[in-house]
Structure 1
Amino acid sequence: MQYVLTLPDGARETIDLLLDGHLEVLHQNTAPDALPSWTALAYHQCPNCPLSVLTHPRCALAVNLVDVMRFSNKLISHDEVLMEVITQERRIAQRTTAQRAISSLMGLIVATSGCPHSTFLRPMARFHLPLASEEETIYRATSMYLLAQYFLKNEERAVDFSLEGLVERYKILQKVNLAIADRLRAASETDASINAVVLLDIYAKTMPYAIKDSLEDIRYLFSSYF
């Protein structure tokens, strides 16, 4: 999958996300000496991180944001960019703000980085929808979670059709977003990347409430099932 951003000065920035068979991004920045200090796991480590610095000296999510930070420091949040997302199936192009484009890219990286708290998002990464609206995100996230329950049921394992498990996962993700924002402040020269994380965190904060309250807003779409 490829993200191409055309910046206000006409320069083009390309991020290639190479995913393995488990939908985890293949690290392209693996030389420790070449990595900035803010990628160290101990640097603003998430309070709920289950990893040890002894076995994981670097935060995989931070490592995969190094290239994003390189070009986001050239941008202000509300700069207009042309965002192109290219997959095997299609090419999507849209003009948007720098913060929304970077947030869309970061969301994909968060899901595929190897962070233990975001692996549940990998099915959504496989069917990535750039610049998804809140309603689209609610639909995709709940559909993904309920399909996971279907597969669990087929294996005679415990299932959760109440969506409480999904709510809890998003609450955990909020802590990850806060810690990542702290990391990026050390690397940021402009506000674009920080505000991109803020946009992601807005979704993470609203999802627990939206899952419970907003699903009724799209119930009418399923009237043919009743």
Structure 2
Amino acid sequence: MPQTISYRFFAPKEDKVQIDLNFDDRTYKLQIDETADKPDWAKLSRNKCSNCPLGDDVEWCPAAVGVAQFLPAFKAKFSYEKTIVEVETPTRTVVTKATFQTGIASLLGLTCATSGCPHTKFLRPLARFHLPFATEQETVFRSLSAYLLMQYKKNHDNGEQKPPTFDDLNEAYATLSIVNSFLAERLRDAVERDAALNAVMILDGFALITPENTDGSFLDLEDVFLVE
């Protein structure tokens, strides 16, 4: 049974925009209708990421195809336009007042993480427990916690007792930042205004935050464990 997360955007004097994302229950990979539109800008060869591991036998960029399913609804939106966003997951509903760039950023992040892009797969466990509109501190806490748990399980399954490091996580986020820059170039061919482009920049900002906390200082988490 597919899992569904729905994003609904409400703006004054405009029709509601609803985006339904369906995910494989086991892998949590985004499910795309085979008959869905695939615009030219979503072809892998168009603004292909410089670090993309996919070969010429792959015609479409997985992340771009995912984004293409909802981008037309926002291509004429300015980043500063106000909206109310309602996000319904299988377990809860989150409602917030936001700008379109913030709402699209949350939707983009979920889509790219689950799209099947090789460079975003490390985010899929977080997507399974999607937290819309997470703050910087929440993002750092969730990213580091999930990664350490993954390392612990991997070492346990392999019968190893390696000390935890964040080297692979830092590399993954550095790679993700490159992906974000090329995704922004793709979207320039598909939008008329800046809401979606700024949404990618918001995502890239979050991609830079976590590595800044892996040197042992954990600056953004200083007060998280204070209980008195």
Whether these two folds match at TM > 0.5 is yes
Q: Is contact 1:118-1:173 (8 Å) kept?
A: yes
1:188 partner amino acid: V
Over residues 25-71 of structure 1, what are the superposed CA-to-partner deviations in whole Å (9 max), with x where a residue is unaligned? 0012x348x421101000001111110131x1001110111132111
Q: Which residue of structure 2 aligns with residue 164 of structure 1?
A: 167
Q: Which residue of structure 1 aligns with residue 31 of structure 2?
A: 26
Q: Aligned partners of 1:103 and 1:64: how far apart in 2?
A: 14
Q: Is contact 2:140-2:209 (8 Å) kept?
A: no
Q: Which residue of structure 1 aligns with residue 98 of structure 2?
A: 96
2:53 partner amino acid: P
Find the partner of 2:54 among 36, 46, 51: 51
SS in 1 for 2:70: helix
Q: Aligned partners of 1:43 and 1:16: how far apart in 2?
A: 26
Deviation of the 1:221 alpha carbon: 3.6
- Quick one: percent identity of the two aligned structures? 37
Q: Is contact 1:138-1:211 (8 Å) kept?
A: no
Deviation of the 1:161 alpha carbon: 1.2
Find the partner of 1:10 among 3, 8, 14: 14
RMSD: 1.8
Q: Aligned partners of 2:15 and 2:138: how far apart in 1?
A: 31
What are the within-5 Å matches in structure 2 for residues 185-224 of structure 1? 185-212=188-215, 215-222=218-225
Change (3 A) 1:83 1:213: farther
Q: Aligned partners of 1:101 and 1:197: how far apart in 2?
A: 11
Q: Aligned partners of 1:196 and 1:108: how far apart in 2?
A: 12
Q: Is contact 2:213-2:219 (8 Å) kept?
A: no
* TM-score, length basis structure 1: 0.91
More displaced 10-residue stretch of structure 1: 170-179 or 200-209: 200-209
Change (3 A) 1:201 1:220: closer
Q: Aligned partners of 1:220 and 1:194: how far apart in 2?
A: 33
Q: Aligned partners of 2:218 and 2:55: how far apart in 1?
A: 38
Instruction: Tell me the number of residue pairs that the alignment of Structure 1 and Structure 2 aligns.
Output: 221
SS in 1 for 2:132: coil
Q: Aligned partners of 2:170 and 2:180: how far apart in 1?
A: 16
Deviation of the 1:204 alpha carbon: 1.3
1:128 partner amino acid: H
Unaligned stretches of 5+ residues in structure 2: none
SS in 2 for 1:82: strand
Q: Is contact 2:23-2:29 (8 Å) kept?
A: yes
Q: Aligned partners of 1:214 and 1:198: how far apart in 2?
A: 25
Q: Is contact 1:8-1:79 (8 Å) kept?
A: no
More displaced 10-residue stretch of structure 1: 123-132 or 211-220: 211-220
- Following TM superposition, where does structure 1 have runs of at least 4 consecutive aligned residues deviating by more than 3 angstroms? 157-160, 219-224
Q: Aligned partners of 1:217 and 1:24: how far apart in 2?
A: 30
Q: Aligned partners of 1:76 and 1:88: how far apart in 2?
A: 30
Over residues 189-217 of structure 1, what are the superposed CA-to-partner deviations in whole Å (9 max), with x where a residue is unaligned? 11000000010011112322133366245
Structure whose residues are more often helix by fraction: 1
